[in-house]
Amino acid sequence: MPVTSSHVLLTEALNLYSQAEVASYCGRDIRTVRRWHSEQRCPKIAEGALREMLNAKTRRRSKDSAANFRFIDLFAGIGGIRQGFETHGGRCVFTSEWNDFSKKTYEANFQDDSEQHEFIGDIVSFSKDAIPAHDVLLAGFPCQPFSIAGVSKKNSLGRPHGFACNTQGTLFYDVANIINAKRPAAFLLENVKNLLSHDKGNTFQTILDVLRHELKYDVHYKIIDGQHFTPQHRERIVIVGFREKTDFSFDDLRLPAEGPRLRSILHKTDGTEPILEHDENRYFDHSSRSVQARYTLTPKLWTYLQAYAEKHRAAGNGFGFGLVTPDSVTRTLSARYHKDGSEILCAQGKGKRPRRLTPRECARLMGFPDSFVIPVSDTQAYRQFGNSVVVPVMQEVARIMVPHVAIVTSKEMSN
């Protein structure tokens, strides 16, 4: 049975590492780790770090042996989907990400052997034949409008049929082309919830038709809200497909009925905030036990946001800023958060201006462990986390996918 309990994860970690190592990796002190273990109450927010520790140990043990399965990471961003699949024994053999800032963050956190792993920019211009064999294709592909007008005319002119006609020029087309060429045992595609309703559902129907009828994969999809695992309302559609018919079901997901609240990811002002070597005092001043002052809104910006919200309230609209407290579940973190932080503003007490989340808090909000390095500017970091996936969601989807991947690949080997 796959491990899901935070306390069991902690126990396994303590069997492999010292209390000091676990405390450092989780960004806590030794006394806290001891309390977690003795009370058998390890917080959900620590799961990511614990899984990464266990996965790191597994990688070291099996460095010279084959992983359970191989996967490629397309439109990789900063590696959120990859983290979920590495947790369950996968090895990344190829990555594509065009944004140089995202690539910098990705490479700072995933130390791949360049001889065994190729990292490219634009997947569109890359030869699909040069992509290595893999068992699972992962892609958080951007959603572009599909122009399917004029298909009949193209057909009458003898132009390409199927997905080569309906999706040509979209990034989904490039994903479909790779699936068609490489025939991986499985794939996972992730996108915004609105993909379902785009163009009155025609875009999503085209995607399903390509995956099911053109490529002949057994396809399942589900909208999953990240707030089951982190204190953020973030709905995303996850599309999973297998080369052969399987018993896979999203009903097997274990989604906690009640997720954590915002206090679980906020910087601690009681002296327990971890000192992270890769952060130093960039986000949090440990000497004063306070978040750096630059994250508090300026008087001018705070006045503007209040006036903007009042204007829309008067007009009967719901637009405005989102003021949150430690007991809150936030709105969806967006890539525009760097502009004014309006969707998630942390209250700092009566008469005080609110503040933005720091990039480290945004990383935690997305489920990244404190060991995750942020080597870019605040502006780029906000964009990256706003575009990322909720890592524990990917870990949970990977958990229920991997056994079926193994079944499909084992059938291939026996034939």
CA-to-CA distance for 79 and 407, rounded, in angstroms?
A: 26
- Same domain, residue pair 223 and 272: no
Q: pLDDT by residue (tens digit) across 194-232?
A: 888 888 888 899 899 999 999 999 999 999 999 999 999
Among residues of the chain, what percentage have pLDDT more than 90? 64
Residue that terminates a domain, selected from 24, 41, 65: 65
Q: 91 forms bridges with which residues in the sheet?
A: 70
Q: How far is CA 154 from CA 41, 144, 150, 174, 210, in A?
A: 62, 20, 6, 20, 17
CA-to-CA distance for 147 and 140, rounded, in angstroms?
A: 21
Q: pLDDT by residue (tens digit) across 276-321?
A: 989 989 999 999 999 999 999 999 999 999 998 888 787 777 667 8
Q: Is residue 376 part of a domain?
A: no
The residue with tokens 């945004």 is 362
Q: pLDDT by residue (tens digit) across 348-396?
A: 999 999 999 999 999 999 999 999 999 999 999 999 999 999 999 999 9
- List the single range of 110-119, 276-285, 332-341 with lowest mean pLDDT: 110-119
- Same domain, residue pair 53 and 160: no
pLDDT confidence of residue 18:
62
CA-to-CA distance for 261 and 358, rounded, in angstroms?
A: 17
The residue with tokens 């992730």 is 190
- Say yes or no to pLDDT of 77 above 70: yes
Give the three-state DSSP class for 293: helix
- Closest CA relative to residue 242, chosen from 415, 408, 15: 408
Q: Is residue 205 part of a domain?
A: yes
- Same domain, residue pair 78 and 205: yes
- Same domain, residue pair 155 and 130: yes
pLDDT confidence of residue 13:
79
- Closest CA relative to residue 391, chosen from 50, 83, 3: 83
| Residue 164: band (very low, low, confident or very high) from pLDDT cuts 50, 70, 90 | low
- Say yes or no to pLDDT of 80 above 50: yes
- Same domain, residue pair 194 and 104: yes
pLDDT confidence of residue 357:
98
- Same domain, residue pair 12 and 73: no
Give the three-state DSSP class for 239: strand
Handedness of CA 292, 294, 300, 306 (dihedral sign): negative
Residue that terminates a domain, selected from 65, 87, 104: 65
CA-to-CA distance for 292 and 280, rounded, in angstroms?
A: 12
State the DSSP H helix or E strand holding residue 95, giving kind and residue range, or none if neither. Answer: strand 90-96
Q: Is residue 227 part of a domain?
A: yes
- Same domain, residue pair 100 and 223: yes
Which residues are identified as catalytic?
143
Q: In residues, how long is the chain?
A: 415
Q: Is residue 322 part of a domain?
A: yes
Q: Is residue 379 part of a domain?
A: no
Question: Which residues have a Cβ under 8 Å from the Cβ of 334 and sit 6 or more positions away?
Answer: 343, 386
Total count of domains within the chain: 3
- Same domain, residue pair 296 and 358: yes
Amino acid at site 309:
A
- Same domain, residue pair 218 and 245: yes
Q: Which domain holds residue 318?
A: 262-369
Phi and psi at 149, nearest 5°, equal -70, 145
- Same domain, residue pair 174 and 271: no
Q: Is the entire prediction scored with pTM above 0.85?
A: no
Q: Is residue 383 part of a domain?
A: no
- Same domain, residue pair 137 and 245: yes
| Residue 76: band (very low, low, confident or very high) from pLDDT cuts 50, 70, 90 | very high
What is the domain-level CATH number for residue 214?
3.40.50.150
Instruction: Record the tokens describing residue 75, joined without a space.
Output: 């439109």
- Say yes or no to pLDDT of 62 above 50: no
Q: How far is CA 5 from CA 51, 69, 147, in A?
A: 11, 24, 46
Q: Mean pLDDT in the chain?
A: 86
Q: Is residue 359 part of a domain?
A: yes
CA-to-CA distance for 168 and 203, rounded, in angstroms?
A: 13
Contact status, residue 187 vs residue 401, Cβ threshold 8 Å: no
pLDDT confidence of residue 141:
83
Residue that terminates a domain, selected from 18, 46, 65: 65
- Closest CA relative to residue 297, chosen from 359, 350, 353: 353
Contact status, residue 120 vs residue 96, Cβ threshold 8 Å: yes
What is the domain-level CATH number for residue 352?
3.90.120
- Same domain, residue pair 29 and 176: no
